[in-house]
Structure 1
Amino acid sequence: MSLPSKDHRTKGLPKLGVYDDNFVTRVLSPHHLETLDFQVHHWSITDWDALEKRAHSPAFSAGGFRCFRKAVYQIPTETEDSTKSVALALQRCFYHLQFSEEPVGTTELTKSFGWDTLDAFMQHDIQEFNRILQDNLEMKLKDTPVGGAIKKLFLGKTKSYIRCINVDYESSREEEFYDIQLNVKGSRNVYESFREYVAEETMEGDNKYMAEGHGLQDAKKGVTFKSFPPVLHLQLMRFEYDVRRDVMVKINDYFEYPERLDLDEFCASDGPHNYILHGVLVHSGDLDGGHYFALIKPEKDGRWLRFDDDRVTPVTLREVYEDNFGDEGSDGYLRSMQRFTNAYMLVYFREDMLDEILAPIVDDEIPKHLSMSLVVISS
């Protein structure tokens, strides 16, 4: 599946400030003609437009959260070339975002993938970027003291099964996942979509199951979740292929998502499986010309921020939730905008691991060779 390409705007990228533990900047309030003194720990705002499409992958959007950055920082990269090493390029990008006072581009990271700029924006979708990124990072972590750190954060497991109705026979297999694809069409919210995901299908009539040693049998086919990861990515299927029209289309249907997600009913392992929303990736527009932005809550009890091109602004809860549910109506300008502006990726953190996921990064956890080469990454 390919997502629509980023609209090609050519405005400049102004130099912005950087946030760290001791830095307080002034963030524009979107609702009042004033500025707000606002502190954000371990977060930076530089050249967001250059990061926009690539930053909206599951793994990279999680980069602002410390657990992922901490894992990336632990990859040994001292002797590598940042134009060829994805791990080193990502480390340098995170480091410069946190500490540099200059805008940060992603040319170095893009080159490490073997893509030129045009390729990066036009030919590779979010799932492909995420797959390449995770494969590279996991390979670099292999046979190190922190091997498996990426999987520990993002990996969950399912069991697909076919269970015969009239004889004692079941066939099953376990599979791993890094994100869960939930249908928007036909469901009104996350819970309905999860129930559709695990709903059993009856195999009967001309569709009977050939069970080994038992011949053709009526059976139930389904999937159950064996485990959910600490950082859970839910991909909302806003883009699909229309067979009749032979084109990709965007699904703008209304679809709710909660702040707190209880997944106990969907998991075979003992609970609790409670999650708190910390990230929403949004697409506004249609397939011919869309715009991407991210809504992120960097702190456990902090407020939400909107990362949109070169601007970062605090937002209300309505802007995080209702404004991005989508809408089937089209009467009036506001309804029309709501119809085409909707979430396509949700990032949830497991509630009982929030302190661990959001634990601060200490200086000793940052590779020394990064601090010795604080230079501006050219965009």
Structure 2
Amino acid sequence: EWLVGGIAEMHDCRELRGLQAYQPHQLGRSPCGSVGLRNMGSTCYMNALLQQLYHVPEFKGGVFGAEVPPEGEERALVRELQSLFGNVQESLRQSYDTASFCRAHDAVGGEPLNVSLQMDVDEYLNILFDKLERGLKGTGRERLLEECFGGKVVNEIVCKEVVRVGDREYGGDKESFKSQREEGFFTIPLEVKHKRSILESLELFVAGETLDGDNKYMCEEAGRKVDALKRLCISKLPAVLILHLKRFEFDFDAMKKVKVNDACEFPLLLDMDPYTLEGIERRERAAA
């Protein structure tokens, strides 16, 4: 109710404009049906992310469905996100002013959003999701982020030598001994420098590194150091997968972040099975 009232107030027909300033084609909603988000200085990264999140139906519906009171600082960011999504969906204006949304970041703990500072969009996404997780508590949509974007990866260490653990022997012509630890994720970071497509980036993500020589893995179960492969595998894919293309790196000569402008292609249909734990183990069994 408060959201509908706010949109109606913004479109109050009593607003007067001088005839010289009256240019309806510049003030109204775009002919393509979209409403933009106004750049508050250097917030283009934020606007691009919010537009993408708005176009995820499950997430947008969950935000609208959160039971948030019209007042109080604890859930101010969720309330402002509802207002932003509501205006993007229903407004007849060309764009929505995000000033109140930017100010609401300070109300959910931490520093206010500096609108004059350019930020890596993945860095901002982590900040936004952290604040939304806290703001969604007690709204009936506590698991919204997890249900939409939450996946799981396995940190896996595969022993490449024959080891004995208890009464069982691993390796050789038998199954390798593996140590696994599962953790959640919202995004998968991918290297794009010198990569022709995200398929190459995903291959690198799951390739892992060899632990040998002076860097051997101390296998606690076997009680000795062994050659091993340390890698990440996706154990559970989220409903909506967010791939973070790592477009910034730190230049130690200039002592600042620089943009990576390498072209990186992506397919319209992405098969993620080869990068999952199940898919990788299937390929290894077939190659054995």
User: What is the TM-score with the length of structure 1 in the denominator?
Assistant: 0.56
Please give the residue correspondences for 1:171-186 in structure 2 after superposition, counting only pairs within 5 Å: 171-186=179-194
Instruction: State the distance in 1 between where 2:251 and 2:150 align.
Output: 31
Check 1:47–1:245 CA distance in 2 against 1; reply closer, same or farther (3 A cut): closer
Matches within 5 A, 1:181-260: 181-212=189-220, 213-260=222-269
Tell me, yes or no, if structure 1 residue 155 matches structure 2 residue 166.
no
Q: Quick check: 1:157–1:177 contact (8 Å CA) kept in 2? A: yes
- SS of the residue corresponding to residue 102 of structure 2 reads helix
Deviation for aligned residue 1:236:
1.3
Instruction: Give the aligned partner of residue 104 of structure 2.
Output: 112
Partner of 1:6: none
Structure 2 letter corresponding to 1:26 = P
Shift in alpha-carbon separation, 1:266–1:163, aligned structure 2, 3 A: same
Summarize the Cα distance change of 1:74–1:140 in structure 2 as closer, same or farther, 3 Å threshold: farther
Identity %: 31
Q: For residues 116 and 65 of structure 1, do their structure 2 counterparts lie closer, same or farther at Cα, with a shift above 3 Å needed?
A: same
Give the number of the structure whose alpha-carbon radius of gyration is greater: 2
Amino acid at match of 2:134: M
- Contact 1:83–1:112 at 8 Å: present in 2 too? no
Q: Is the 8 A contact 2:76 2:135 kept in 1?
A: no
8 Å CA contact 1:76–1:140 kept in 2: the answer is no
Cα separation, 1, equivalents of 2:140 and 2:79: 18
Partners of 1:186 and 1:235 in 2: CA distance: 16
Q: Is the contact between residue 35 and residue 91 of structure 2 (CA under 8 Å) also seen in structure 1?
A: no
CA RMSD of aligned residues (A): 2.6
Tell me how far apart the structure 2 counterparts of residues 64 and 107 of structure 1 sit (CA, whole Å): 21
Q: Which residue does 1:54 correspond to in 2? A: 46
Q: Confirm whether residue 88 of structure 1 aligns to residue 79 of structure 2.
A: yes
Q: Give SS of 1:261's match.
A: coil
Deviation of residue 203 (structure 1)?
1.0
Alignment of 1:65 onto 2:56 = yes
- Distance across 1 between alignment mates of 2:248 and 2:268: 24
CA distance in 1, matches of 2:258, 2:36: 33
Count of residue correspondences: 234
* Cα distance in 2 for residues equivalent to 1:233 and 1:180: 7
- Give the structure 1 partner of residue 123 of structure 2: 128
Query: Residue deviations 1:214-273, cap 9 Å, x none?
Result: 221111111111122121111112211123443322222221111111111111358xxx
TM-score for the superposition, normalised by structure 2:
0.72
- Against the structure 1 CA distance between its residues 245 and 133, is the aligned structure 2 distance closer, same or farther, given a 3 Å change threshold? closer
Of structures 1 and 2, the one scoring higher in RCO (CA 8 A, sep 6+) is 1
In the alignment, the residues of structure 2 paired with residue 247 and residue 145 of structure 1 have an alpha-carbon distance, to the nearest angstrom, of 43
Does the 8 A contact of 2:154 with 2:235 survive in 1?
yes
Query: Which one has a larger percent strand, Structure 1 or Structure 2?
Result: 1
* Cα contact 1:71–1:149 (8 A) shared by 2: yes
- How far apart are 1:188 and its partner, in Å? 1.1
Aligned mate of 1:78, from 69, 74, 77: 69
The one-letter code sitting in structure 1 at the alignment partner of 2:46 is: R
Q: What's the counterpart of residue 28 of structure 2?
A: 17
Q: Does 1:268 align with 2:280?
A: no
Residues in 2 aligned to 1:82 and 1:90: alpha-carbon distance in whole angstroms: 13
Aligned partners of 2:45 and 2:119 also within 8 Å: no
Q: Deviation digits for residues 11-39 of structure 1, max 9, x if unmatched? A: xxx85433xxxxxx635xxxxxxxxxxxx
Letter in 2 for 1:195: E
Give the SS at the match of 1:158. strand
Alpha-carbon distance in 2 for matches of 1:107, 1:83: 18
Question: In structure 1, how many angstroms separate the alpha carbons of the residues matched to 2:256 and 2:70?
Answer: 46
Q: Is the 8 A contact 1:227 1:269 kept in 2?
A: no
Q: State the 1:116 CA deviation.
A: 5.8
Structure 1 residue 182, shift from structure 2 partner: 0.8
